[in-house]
Amino acid sequence: MSKSNSILQVKDLCVSVEDKEILKGVNLTINPGEIHAIMGRNGSGKSTLSYTLMGHPRYKVTSGQMLFKGQEIGEMTPDERAKAGIGLAFQYPVAVPGVSVSNFLRQSVKSIRGKDIPVKEFRKELKELMARLGVKDEFLSRYLNDGFSGGEKKRLEILQLSLLNPGLVILDETDSGLDIDALKTVSEGINALASSENAILLITHYQRMLDYVKPHFVHVFQDGKIVASGDSQLAHELEARGYDWVTKELSPSGVA
């Protein structure tokens, strides 16, 4: 597959937060149909990459490129990136008292699709996805993430992504705070999102989610760079040996 057909190309990306350099030359190419997992210690730059791709104003690109389907997105606002087809599930979804889940989801879909969806059609689509993710009907009348458990918040994030159907799905530590049952349900939702037309970038600390969501590629972040890449076996090696093993035992090329 030629690079021009890639969903995402990150080229020598350097990013600073409050004048502190966090990303120090990240290179990453993701093609349609691929699931990429990024692993690494706290502070290694994993979440910085996700927020930068989504256009968070706190994260300043100092050099490098971000190409989504061949288009440079560095100057695009977060809502422009969302409309172009980039979706982010947050590690800590924000509660919005006063805004019902139902209204939030319908307005989100309207904004991305550029047209209003008939209520009957929208509710049919929504109910089918809710059943798949184990989301109860009572969620629709509750305020967005207000008083939700960790598992409920993550289910809702995946539900929203399922409705919006972005070309690039970015999942920032979606497994954080999930018990085993919730992890399985959310993972099933992620797997249902995957298709030959889109790509998934899954950021995680732990190998456990990768038992349910099988990545084609695993990348290890250290000090703002990808220092190793491999297949799913690399995640198992990290679980068994820890991150120090990456710098001590992997080849200088950074390939497991």
- Nearest alpha-carbon partner for 239 in 213, 205, 216: 205
Is pLDDT larger for residue 87 or for residue 152?
87
CB of 197 closer than 8 Å to CB of 32:
yes
245 by Cβ neighbours in 10 Å (0-12 / 13-18 / 19+) ranks as middle
Confidence of residue 12 (pLDDT cuts 50, 70, 90): very high
Confidence of residue 3 (pLDDT cuts 50, 70, 90): very low
pLDDT in tens, 180-220: 888 998 899 999 999 999 999 999 988 889 999 999 999 99
Query: d(Cα 244, Cα 207) in Å, to the nearest integer?
Result: 16
Confidence of residue 256 (pLDDT cuts 50, 70, 90): very low
The domains of the chain are located at 3-249
pLDDT in tens, 73-117: 999 999 999 999 999 998 888 899 999 999 999 999 999 988 888
| pTM for this predicted structure | 0.89
pLDDT number for residue 250: 59
Q: What is the mean pLDDT of residues 123-142?
A: 89
Q: Which fold has domain 3-249?
A: Rossmann fold (3.40.50)
pLDDT number for residue 207: 86
Query: d(Cα 129, Cα 210) in Å, to the nearest integer?
Result: 22
pLDDT number for residue 1: 37
